[in-house]
Every structure is written in C-alpha cells, then in structure tokens.
Amino acid sequence: METSESLTLTPIDTEPTGVELTADAGLSALANLMQRHDGASLTVTLSVSGSLVTGDLVGRNTWLDQQHRQFADLDKAVGEIAAQLREGLRRPADGERDAEGEVFVERYVHLVNARYVVGGSFVPAQGGMFWRGRLQSVDGWSLGVVK
C-alpha cells in the first residue's frame, strides 16, 4: 500500500518552546537539606549530560568554606581570592530571605571529593575535587557511589 502523504517525525528529546526544564524535586530537597544543616554531607552519584560524577553532596556554604580552606593552604593570594568568592556566593537556605529581603531559591548542587566515573575508573584516581553544577542539568541521580 503506497501513500503520497509525508510523515514528519519530531525527535522525542526536544522540549516545546517556552517550557522551562525544572530540577528533580528529590535532589533539590536533598541539596536544600544539606544547606540547612551546615557541615552535613551525603554521598551521591549524578548523571549530567551522559557523564557520571560522584561525591559528597554538601550545602553551598559548606562547599565554599572547604574550598576556601584548601586554597588558603596553597597560597596566600589564592586564599584571598577564594575568600572573596566565598563571601560573594554565600547564601541562605532555600526559601529563606537574603540580606535584601529576597526569598532565595537554590539552583545549584555542590559536591566535595567529587570524581568523574570514566569506564571503570575514577578521575581523578586519588582524592577528589570541588564540583558545582546546575540542578536543572542533572538528568538522574542515586544515593551512594558507583563501584
């Protein structure tokens, strides 16, 4: 059976114009829980644009404080830059008001001791790094580390 009608296929991964992608509610809740409990952490593995990154989920302020301490140990000038970054990015917990009275909404996820999972290996192989990514960019997540 032949037909002269043409069929137009739309890729399933395209979003309609004007639709804003939102972050996963569960991951957002965990990120905000870490922000409310300064110093708390939870090991997670995130899928971001086809890559896996694993590490300890912490709040923004904990992430900034740990980053500042590490950089201050390396070099005085680098430590001063890290201190400025820390103060510029420090925020209240999600839903709380900032110094200007605006309600803050966290849009990022923060990991310490982060490593990429590449094949069967971790990058970096030893230790970890500070990692920050947009909550909306996380495609999927799980508790724990890939082994």
The domain spans of the chain are 25-32+41-143
**Helical axes 25-36 vs 60-74, angle rounded to 10°:** 60
What six digits make up the tokens of 136?
Answer: 């909306």
Torsion of CA 63, 66, 70, 72, to 10 degrees: 100
CA-based torsion, 37, 142, 116, 12: positive or negative: negative
Q: How far apart are CA 54 and CA 39, in angstroms?
A: 18
Report the pLDDT value the prediction gives residue 98, as an integer from 0 to 100: 63
pLDDT in tens, 41-76: 999 999 999 999 999 999 988 998 888 888 888 788
Does pLDDT of 143 surpass 70?
Answer: yes
What six digits make up the tokens of 2?
Answer: 């032949």
Report the pLDDT value the prediction gives residue 104, as an integer from 0 to 100: 64
Mean pLDDT of the chain: 80
